[in-house]
Structure 1
Amino acid sequence: MLEYDLSGSDLGAVRFAISPVNELAFSLRAWRDPGRFPLQLPWLTATQRAREGLDGDLLVALTNTRLGLPDFLTPRPRTPLERLEDELAVVAATPLDVVRADFAEVHPEGLPGPLRGPTARVLGRIVAELADYWAVALAPWWPRMRAVLEADVVHRGRTTARAGVAAMFADLAPDVTLTGDVVRVQGGSAVLRRRVTAGDGLTLVPTLFTHRTAGPFDPDEAPLLVYLARGTGTVWQPDRTGGPAALATLVGDVRAGLLAALESPASSTELAVRLGVTTSAVNQHLRALRAAGWLTSARHGRSVLYLRSELGDALLAGSTSG
C-alpha cells in the first residue's frame, strides 16, 4: 500500500500533468507482457515490425516480471504538458548512483545482461534507444494519445469543480481512496507512507499503459501517482461511424459524426483520425457547430478540447429517437 498524507499541504496543490516519457516507460510493460494489456494489443500489433529494428533486449530489460520500472525513467513532470526532449534530458542527467540503486530495486536478483557494464555507458544507450523507440512506435500515435490523456484531465477537473477533490479521487481508480487528508493506493503487503509538505504537492499522471495505479519505489521521490486514463480502449481503434441518418441529412455526415463522437472531450487532431478527414476540415466543422451552440470548447495547454453542449445532446437524442 502507498499512502500520501496531504495534511501538511493544500489539497489544491494536487495537480495533473501529461508526460511523454512516462508513456514511453510504461509502454515497455505492455511490450514485455502483452497478455496483461489487452486494450493495447492493437498498438502492439501495429508497431511490431517497427519495434523489430530496436534493441528490444535492452528496452524490455528495464522492467521485471512484476512489471516494475526504475524510478529514474518516470520523473515527475515539471509542467502540465511536458516535451519528450526535456524529459529525456532529465533522464540522461540522472546521477549514476541513483541509476544503480534503481536498477537494484527493480532487479534485486541481479542485472540482466543488457544492463551490465559501466553505468554511464548503459544510461547513454538507454536514452538513445528510448528516443528511437519513441520515433517509430509512439510518435505516430502521439496526437491521438495526447488528446485522450488531455480529455481525461479535463474530466477530472470538472469532477473536482462539481463535486470536490474527494469525488475526483473516488473516480480516479478502484484502488485509490482519499480518507481525510490521506490518499491511499491499495496493493502489496508493505506500507509506504509519505507526508506531502506545503509546496511539494501531489502530481497525478494519466497513462494508457497500466492496469493498476503506480507510484515511485523510493519514499524520497517527489509525490507522484500514475493511473489508467479514461477512454484508453478507444485510442487505437478507428471510428468512422457517422451520426444518425436524420441528423446527417440535415447537417451532413461529418458534422453528424462529430456530434456523435463528442460525448467526451476530444481535440480536432483526434477527431480527424477517428473520422478519417483532415484536421483543417474538422476545424471548420467544429467552428460551425460551436457557433450554432451545439458544442462547447475549453483550452487545455496547447490544445482546444470540444464537447457536446446540452443543446447538442438534445439535438442528437431527438434525431436518434426520431
Structure 2
Amino acid sequence: MPYHLHFGEADPLRIRFAISPLWETQGAVRVLTRPRQQGYHLPWLRRIAEAARGVDLAPLHLLMPERGHNPDFLYPPPIGPAATFEEEIAAVRETDPAVAADDFARALAETPGAADTPAGRRMLTDPAGAVRWLADLVEQAWEALVAPEWPRLRALLEADVAYHSRRLADGGLERLLGELHPAFAWSEETATLTVEYRGEHVRALDGQGLVLLPSAFVWPDVVSGFDPPWQPTVVYPARGIGGLWTEARERTPDALARLLGRARADVLCALDEPAGTSALAHRLGLAPSSVSAHLSVLRAAGLLTSRRYGHQVLYERTPLGIALAVPQPETD
C-alpha cells in the first residue's frame, strides 16, 4: 500500500533538502530494536552499547510500532534546512498538549496493550507532562547515541544533499526521484510521486513543496505519511552508509601510504563521499589543522577538488585521486 504525493503547478519549484539531527536521533533509537536495520551499523552499536543502557528508551520504543502511526509532533519534519538539535527539541517542547494527546492515542493504538502500560497511561492522562518527559528522553538519547558521532553523520548527510542537489540541477525532478530510492516512482502524467511502503497515505502538496530528508538510520525503508499541518516530507536512506563506520586506515593501500605518507593517504581514502575538514578530523582522530594541511597538499597535487556548501568547504576526489585511492587488481 503506497504513499501518493500529488504535486501542484508550483510544487516542483519548491523541492528542498534538509538535515535533521532530531530525525537521526529517532532513527538511532529505532535501530536498537530493529535487527533488519542494524547490518551497516554494527560498529556504532558496539560503541554506544554501554551508553544506551544508561537511558530508559522503553517509552520511546512504545511509540514506534513496526507498522502504523508514529507521533509526528515528537519527530516532526525539520524546521529548517540545517537546524540544530537544540532548536528542534525546543520546538518539540512547545507542542500543544491537545496535539500530543491525539498523536499518543493514535500511536499507542497500533500496539495491542500499549495504552494500558504505565507509560501509555501516563501519556494519555497527562499529555502536557508527557511531552516534557519524552522530550527529555529524546535529548538523553541524542547525547548518548548520536551527538558523539554527529560530525561523521552530518558529513555523510551533507555529502548526500550536495550530490543530489547537483543531480536535480543536471537532470530535473524526474531523474532525481528515480535515483533516490527504488521505492520511488514519478508519474509525469498525474504529477504524482508514489512511494511503496507499509501504509496508505494520500496528500496533495498544495504549493507547500516537498522536503527530501536523507537519513543514515532509516535504511532500508523510506518514510513519509505526514499529515497537515506538517510539511510534506520524505525521508530516504543517504548514500554511502555502507562505509559510514569504516575507519580510513582499514582501506588505505600500503603502497599509497608509502607514496604519500600514512596520514595524507588516510585523508584521501576517507573521501569516499565529499566531506569537510572537521568531519574528516573527527573520523581520522587527527587535529583539524593537520587535516587542513593535508587537504591543501592533496588539492594542489590535483587529487582533490573543493567547493563551498552552506557553512563549510567540502572536498572530494578528482578522477586521479579516485584512481590512487582505489586498490588496483594485481596482474601477472
Task: Please give the TM-score of this superposition, normalised by the length of structure 2.
Answer: 0.87
TM-aligned CA deviation for residue 42 of structure 1: 2.5
Paired amino acid for 2:30 = R
Kept in 2: contact 1:241–1:275 (CA 8 A): no
Q: Deviations along 1:102-155, whole A, 9 cap, x unmatched? A: 122222145242132211111111111111121122111111011111111111
Which residue of structure 2 lines up, in the alignment, with residue 164 of structure 1?
Answer: 172
Kept in 1: contact 2:248–2:267 (CA 8 A): no
Identity of aligned residues (%): 36
Pairs within 5 Å for 1:65-214? 65-66=66-67, 69-108=70-109, 109=112, 110-111=114-115, 112-117=117-122, 118-180=126-188, 181-188=191-198, 190=200, 192-198=201-207, 200-210=208-218, 211-214=220-223
Matched, 1:272 2:273: no
Q: CA RMSD in A?
A: 2.4
Kept in 2: contact 1:244–1:320 (CA 8 A): no
Number of residue pairs aligned between Structure 1 and Structure 2: 320
Paired amino acid for 2:245 = W
Quote the Cα distance in structure 2 between the aligned partners of 1:39 and 1:89: 31
Quote the Cα distance in structure 2 between the aligned partners of 1:318 and 1:209: 29
Q: 1:241 to 1:134 in 2, by over 3 A?
A: same
Kept in 2: contact 1:80–1:301 (CA 8 A): no
Q: 1:89 to 1:188 in 2, by over 3 A?
A: same
TM-aligned CA deviation for residue 170 of structure 1: 0.9
Paired amino acid for 1:232 = I
Q: 1:42 to 1:246 in 2, by over 3 A?
A: closer
Kept in 1: contact 2:248–2:269 (CA 8 A): no
Q: Deviations along 1:64-116, whole A, 9 cap, x unmatched? A: 24385211122222321110111001111111111111122222145242132
Q: Deviations along 1:201-226, whole A, 9 cap, x unmatched? A: 10011111112110135254320111
Paired amino acid for 2:291 = V
Quote the Cα distance in structure 1 between the aligned partners of 2:152 and 2:37: 22
1:71 aligned counterpart, secondary structure: coil
Quote the Cα distance in structure 1 between the aligned partners of 2:135 and 2:178: 36
Paired amino acid for 1:96 = P
TM-aligned CA deviation for residue 314 of structure 1: 5.2
Matched, 1:257 2:266: yes
Quote the Cα distance in structure 2 between the aligned partners of 1:223 and 1:246: 49
Quote the Cα distance in structure 1 between the aligned partners of 2:50 and 2:254: 39
Kept in 2: contact 1:143–1:270 (CA 8 A): yes
Runs of 5+ in structure 2 lacking a partner?
Answer: none
Kept in 1: contact 2:57–2:137 (CA 8 A): no
Which residue of structure 2 lines up, in the alignment, with residue 282 of structure 1?
Answer: 291
Pairs within 5 Å for 1:43-62? 43-62=44-63
Kept in 2: contact 1:208–1:232 (CA 8 A): yes
TM-aligned CA deviation for residue 227 of structure 1: 0.8
1:264 aligned counterpart, secondary structure: coil
2:32 aligned counterpart, secondary structure: helix
Kept in 2: contact 1:4–1:184 (CA 8 A): yes
TM-aligned CA deviation for residue 19 of structure 1: 0.3
Q: 1:299 to 1:60 in 2, by over 3 A?
A: same
Q: 1:55 to 1:242 in 2, by over 3 A?
A: closer
Quote the Cα distance in structure 2 between the aligned partners of 1:36 and 1:287: 38
Q: 1:36 to 1:255 in 2, by over 3 A?
A: closer
Matched, 1:306 2:307: no
Q: 1:252 to 1:195 in 2, by over 3 A?
A: same
Paired amino acid for 2:25 = L
Quote the Cα distance in structure 2 between the aligned partners of 1:260 and 1:45: 24
Quote the Cα distance in structure 2 between the aligned partners of 1:209 and 1:246: 34
Which residue of structure 1 lines up, in the alignment, with residue 15 of structure 2?
Answer: 14
